């Protein structure tokens, strides 16, 4: 009994010492202890503290709640999958996927289009070598670079719009490749210009030690250029951080992840999303409001799962390329899932693109005395236009849904950001992710599917 009282006394004393308002309890305990009360250690059992689920609590152990949510989601959507299977049967067919990728075996326009991109990369390298040797002035080279980049963006758009033999999948991969190449080549020419002007003298890899820059002209090689073009980054520098060796187990792990995730994404599209598309024979722009809402509500869950799987697929692909090329900087995204504002989400969702925008757009605008808020708005509008361009053009329809949805998110961030903070702000971010651009992208694919269905119906002979 004495030992129990001693332990209880130490617990009560330590807990009361931690709280600023626990002096009265400690004083009471001391006076009772001085009187040697037989239950002195049991008289003090309360202290100032918040409920675990209150906003003032610093409690973070929600792992059990997360497990419960995961199990509930799995069981709920397993029921939906079972209901879908009973109603429509087994719809997964890889041949249908290949139909959107395979083209005429004698022409392969998308493959030729991607191979033609090397012409623009080699042009950028020749221009840099000409300036390095003093054959052309910096002003002329800069203008030729801008002309090269302008043609790089217009050439694939013209081919996709005028070549009817190119598939939707081939057009998407071609345009995506040209867009990434354009961002890389712009960084390539501008960073080399910084090196020549003496703005950059090395690469700070460990924040304390600088690499010595390469000798003039030695970095302007095919090996250096194509390493940058294949590396998982959009920002050029002469010396990238490297890992010592390729870890074969990590490489195979990422490759297996890409294969499995691709199969799951195909299954979700064919087994879950396509039956919803089949229930409509008109595009979203021609539907009445009730039909639009009904279709969008049905597409929320599969679209969101597809978007999350695309994120994990990007994670696996970027790490696969980095491991294969000994590329050391693997910071491809931040903890966007914990973002309490949409601004924080945009800054952490795509780190390579965010770095490029900050390095080559935002900083340049600040140097021209543009206010930070206007510079951020310009970067956001540029990214919205780029998303609309990459998605809408290969599908042959530009209705500005993605652009308008991103503008709507901007309005939400500006006017509601001050009212939704902390956990409520994170909930608003997730709500925007559920009902935002991913759903707008799906509407483009819906109209593309309806157009293909009409084309097949009109071309098929009557029975």
Residues 197 and 126 in one domain: yes
pLDDT at residue 233 greater than cutoff 80: yes
User: Would you state the structure tokens that stand for residue 298, as one six-digit string?
Assistant: 């049905």
Q: What is the pLDDT of residue 215?
A: 52
Rounded Cα distance, 285 and 440, in Å: 12
Please check the confidence at residue 27 and state whether its pLDDT lies above 50: no
Rg (CA), the chain: 29
Residue 415, in any domain of the structure:
yes
- Work out the pLDDT band at 202, boundaries 50, 70, 90: very low
Residues pairing with 242 in the sheet? 327
Give the pLDDT confidence of 123-155 residue by residue, as tens digits: 999 999 998 888 888 889 999 999 999 999 999
Mean pLDDT for 244-266 is: 91
Cβ 127 vs Cβ 148: under 8 Å: yes
Is the same domain home to 173 and 265? no
Burial class (CB in 10 A: 0-12, 13-18, 19+), 200: middle
Residue 244 lies inside a defined structural domain of this protein: no
pLDDT of residue 461: 53
pLDDT tens, residue by residue, 308-357: 999 999 999 999 999 999 999 999 999 998 888 998 999 999 999 999 99
From 230, 260, 288, give the residue that closes a domain.
230
Is 90 a domain residue? no
Let me know if residue 12 belongs to a domain.
Answer: yes
Residue with tokens 């054959």: 135
Is residue 94 situated within a structural domain? no
pLDDT band at 95 (very low <50, low <70, confident <90, very high): low
pLDDT, residue 374, reads: 92
List Cα–Cα distances, 447 to 16, 250, 282, 424, in angstroms.
66, 40, 8, 35
What is the band of 234 on the pLDDT scale with cuts at 50, 70, 90?
very high
pTM: 0.78
Whole-Å CA distances, 419 to 203, 241, 413: 42, 42, 10
- DSSP H stretches of helix in 232-333: 248-268, 274-278, 289-324
Quote the domain boundaries for residue 183. Answer: 109-230
Asked whether residue 332 falls in the same domain as residue 451, the answer is: yes
Mean pLDDT of the chain: 80
Residue 71 within any structural domain of the chain: no
Residues 137 and 189 in one domain: yes
pLDDT band at 19 (very low <50, low <70, confident <90, very high): very low
Is residue 82 domain-resident? no
187 and 292 both lie in a single domain: no
- Regarding predicted confidence, which is higher, 339 or 66? 339
The rounded distance, in Å, linking the Cα atoms of 188 and 36 is 81
User: In the numeric block, which tokens belong to residue 322?
Assistant: 């980095």
Total domains, the chain: 3
Number of H helices, E strands in the chain: 18, 0
- Which range, 206-210, 248-252, 263-267, is most confident? 248-252
Q: Which of 104-108, 177-181, 249-253 has the lowest mean pLDDT?
A: 104-108
Query: Which residue carries 């994404």 as its tokens?
Result: 265
Residues 210 and 280 in one domain: no
Same domain, 288 and 366: yes
Q: Same structural domain for residues 151 and 13?
A: no
pLDDT at residue 20 tops 80: no
What span, in angstroms and rounded, lies between the C-alpha atoms of 120 and 105?
26
Of the three residues 230, 262, 285, the one that is the final residue of a domain is 230
- At 100 the pLDDT is 57
Residues 345 and 413 in one domain: yes
């Amino acid at each position: 009994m004495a030992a129990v009282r001693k332990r209880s006394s130490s617990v009560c004393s330590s807990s009361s010492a931690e709280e600023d308002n626990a002096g009265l309890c400690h004083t009471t305990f001391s006076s009772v202890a001085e009187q040697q009360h037989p239950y002195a250690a049991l008289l003090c059992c309360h202290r100032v503290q918040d409920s675990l689920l209150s906003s003032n609590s610093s409690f973070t152990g929600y792992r059990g709640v997360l497990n419960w949510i995961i199990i509930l989601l799995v069981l709920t959507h397993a029921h939906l999958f079972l209901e879908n299977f009973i109603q429509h049967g087994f719809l997964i067919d890889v041949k249908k996927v290949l139909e959107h990728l395979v083209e005429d075996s004698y022409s392969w326009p998308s493959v030729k289009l991607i191979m033609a991109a090397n012409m623009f990369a080699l042009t950028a390298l020749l221009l840099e070598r000409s300036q390095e040797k003093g054959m052309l002035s910096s002003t002329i080279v800069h203008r030729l670079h801008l002309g090269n980049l302008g043609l790089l963006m217009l050439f694939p758009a013209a081919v996709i719009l005028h070549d009817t033999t190119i598939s939707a999948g081939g057009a998407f991969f071609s345009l995506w490749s040209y867009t990434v190449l354009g961002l890389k080549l712009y960084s390539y020419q501008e960073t080399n210009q910084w090196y020549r002007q003496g703005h950059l003298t090395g690469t700070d890899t460990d924040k304390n030690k600088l690499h010595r820059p390469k000798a003039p002209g030695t970095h302007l090689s095919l090996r250096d250029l194509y390493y940058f073009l294949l590396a998982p980054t959009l920002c050029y520098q002469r010396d990238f951080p490297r890992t010592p060796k390729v870890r074969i187990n990590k490489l195979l792990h990422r490759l297996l992840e890409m294969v499995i995730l691709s199969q799951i994404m195909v299954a979700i599209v064919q087994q879950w999303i396509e039956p919803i598309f089949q229930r409509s024979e008109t595009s979203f722009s021609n539907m009445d409001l009730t039909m639009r809402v009904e279709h969008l509500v049905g597409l929320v869950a599969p679209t969101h799962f597809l978007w999350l799987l695309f994120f994990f697929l990007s994670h696996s692909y970027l790490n696969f390329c980095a491991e294969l090329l000994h590329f050391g900087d693997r910071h491809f995204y931040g903890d966007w899932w914990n973002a309490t504002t949409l601004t924080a989400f945009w800054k952490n969702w795509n780190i390579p693109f965010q770095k490029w925008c900050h390095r080559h757009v935002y900083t340049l605008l600040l140097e021209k005395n543009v206010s930070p808020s206007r510079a951020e708005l310009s970067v956001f509008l540029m990214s919205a236009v780029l998303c609309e361009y990459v998605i809408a053009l290969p599908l042959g329809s530009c209705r500005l849904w993605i652009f308008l949805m991103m503008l709507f998110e901007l309005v939400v961030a500006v006017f509601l950001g001050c009212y939704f903070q902390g956990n409520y702000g994170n909930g608003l971010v997730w709500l925007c992710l559920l009902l935002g651009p991913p759903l707008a992208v799906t509407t483009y694919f819906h109209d593309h599917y309806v157009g293909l269905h009409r084309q097949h119906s009109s071309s098929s002979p009557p029975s």
